[in-house]
């Protein structure tokens, strides 16, 4: 059979680091091993009942069996605006400052194609969400990494950016609470970001995927809560984490009107919007009872405490995350992140994500998810303890 060659664009896409990891784990499972999966970011709890029931009811409506408006139903955009005012006291114009997305990932991959020409520069955090790189590649843009270092609380140090890069940059990705580090941003940092972006004509895209997940009584800060943020950027939010709707593929972008318009123009050429019943269910999630969100946050905090306290007891010097459902843990001296992940998989049958998969500055760490039961976390701690890698 004739083989047709893929385009240069496809050939230049970044390799999916975690695909090989999943394949390796699959081999152990096929051999009958009981693998505790702490390496992926797939929520393990079901979508709340009232959201599922709204989907079921809305799916019966004949009007939802037709094409939705290309740019989404206005009722969902109004729900987004109401949600942002209720949660963050941020005023959003539903007509001009909201774009409905096919999940947060779609928006993050689309935005470089909306604003950048080939050769333009974009700032990307390192370590960071790997799919940021997909959007950069599709836009044929040039990437400059922003190192996230422990000594700076995993915030980029803007003083370390060269003047040449600042002059060339048109776009910047940020993400707090952060994947993979689990750290949160301060108001002062966001204020510095707005000042830098305004001075250098940079559009800021804040990935707020874990916005609902904050610990120790601290609610994560929306970038748009800072004065001037809406003038120079947008925030991308997904219902995947807040409402356990990962498989539903629904999110939104809010903020700068011109950026929202660009996203909607691109999507007009790609999609015919989301299934209307999913949009009705999304509106029900945003406007309905929020006790499910609070309970989920408490669940993740309980799991975090069990994991962190348990690892400390066996002698692993770890730092507790402040948000998200990930912990970012230092590997033992003398091992790379991949070597340590292999040891955990091969000897303890625990899957973690090597830090190098998130960028050069992720080396020396592994990412551990809080997406399994407390019992399984305790078992994982016992398995790690039995390796006698750490001194009590």
Tens-place pLDDT, residues 223-261: 999 999 999 999 999 999 999 999 999 999 999 999 999
Of the candidates 58, 56, 66, 55, the one whose C-alpha atom is nearest the C-alpha of residue 272 is 66
Task: Report the alpha-carbon distance of residue 301 to residue 298 in Å, rounded.
Answer: 5
Give percent of the chain above pLDDT 90. 89
Task: Report the alpha-carbon distance of residue 377 to residue 365 in Å, rounded.
Answer: 19
pTM of the shown model: 0.95
* Banded model confidence at residue 214, pLDDT cuts 50, 70, 90: very high
| pLDDT at residue 392 greater than cutoff 70 | no
| pLDDT at residue 27 in the model | 87
Number of neighbours of residue 16 by Cβ within 10 angstroms:
13
Summarised one tens digit per residue, pLDDT across range 161-179 is 999 999 999 999 999 999 9
The domains found in the chain, sorted by start residue, are: 8-46+292-386 (3.90.1150.10), 49-287 (3.40.640.10)
| pLDDT at residue 31 greater than cutoff 90 | no
Task: Report the alpha-carbon distance of residue 194 to residue 230 in Å, rounded.
Answer: 9
Task: Report the alpha-carbon distance of residue 122 to residue 47 in Å, rounded.
Answer: 35
Task: Report the alpha-carbon distance of residue 182 to residue 73 in Å, rounded.
Answer: 34
For tokens 């799991």, the residue is 303
Summarised one tens digit per residue, pLDDT across range 261-306 is 999 999 999 998 999 999 999 999 999 999 999 999 999 999 999 9
Burial of 390 (C-beta count, 10 Å sphere; 0-12/13-18/19+): middle
Task: Report the alpha-carbon distance of residue 208 to residue 236 in Å, rounded.
Answer: 6
* Banded model confidence at residue 26, pLDDT cuts 50, 70, 90: confident
Q: Residue 351 forms beta bridges with which residues? A: 37
Summarised one tens digit per residue, pLDDT across range 75-116 is 999 999 999 999 999 999 999 999 999 999 999 999 999 999
């Amino acid at each position: 059979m004739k083989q047709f060659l893929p385009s240069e664009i496809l050939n230049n896409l970044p390799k999916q680091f975690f695909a090989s990891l999943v394949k390796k784990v699959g081999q152990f499972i096929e051999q009958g091993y009981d693998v505790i999966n702490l390496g992926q970011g797939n929520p393990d709890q079901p979508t709340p009942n009232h959201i599922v029931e709204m989907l079921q009811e809305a799916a019966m409506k004949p009007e939802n069996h037709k094409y939705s408006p290309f740019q989404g139903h206005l009722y969902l955009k109004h729900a987004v605006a109401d949600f942002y005012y209720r949660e963050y006291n941020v005023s959003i114009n539903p007509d001009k400052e909201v774009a409905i997305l096919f999940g947060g990932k779609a928006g993050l991959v689309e935005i470089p194609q909306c604003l950048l020409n080939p050769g333009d520069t974009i700032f990307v955090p390192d370590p960071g969400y790997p799919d940021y790189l997909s959007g950069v590649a599709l836009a044929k843009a040039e990437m400059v990494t922003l190192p996230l270092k422990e000594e700076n609380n995993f915030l980029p140090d803007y003083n370390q950016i060269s003047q040449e890069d600042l002059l060339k940059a048109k776009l910047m990705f940020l993400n707090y609470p952060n994947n993979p580090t689990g750290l949160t941003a301060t108001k002062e940092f966001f204020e510095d970001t707005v000042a830098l972006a305004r001075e250098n004509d940079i559009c800021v895209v804040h990935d707020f995927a874990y916005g609902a997940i904050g610990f120790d009584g601290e609610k994560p800060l929306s970038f748009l809560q800072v004065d001037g943020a809406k003038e120079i950027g947008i925030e991308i939010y997904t219902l995947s984490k807040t409402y356990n709707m990962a498989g539903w593929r629904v999110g939104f972008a809010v903020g700068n009107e011109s950026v929202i318009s660009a996203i909607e123009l691109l999507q007009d050429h790609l999609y015919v919007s989301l299934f209307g019943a999913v949009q009705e269910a999304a509106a029900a999630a945003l406007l309905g009872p929020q006790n499910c969100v609070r309970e989920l946050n408490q669940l993740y905090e309980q799991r975090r405490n069990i994991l962190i306290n348990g690892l400390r007891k066996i002698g692993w010097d770890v730092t507790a995350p402040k948000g998200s459902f990930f912990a970012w843990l230092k590997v033992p001296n003398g091992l790379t992140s991949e070597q340590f992940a292999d040891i955990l998989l091969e000897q303890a049958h625990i899957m973690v994500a090597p830090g190098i998969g998130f960028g050069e500055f992720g080396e020396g760490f592994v990412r551990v998810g809080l997406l399994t039961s407390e019992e399984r976390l305790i078992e994982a701690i016992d398995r790690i303890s039995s390796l006698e890698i750490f001194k009590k």
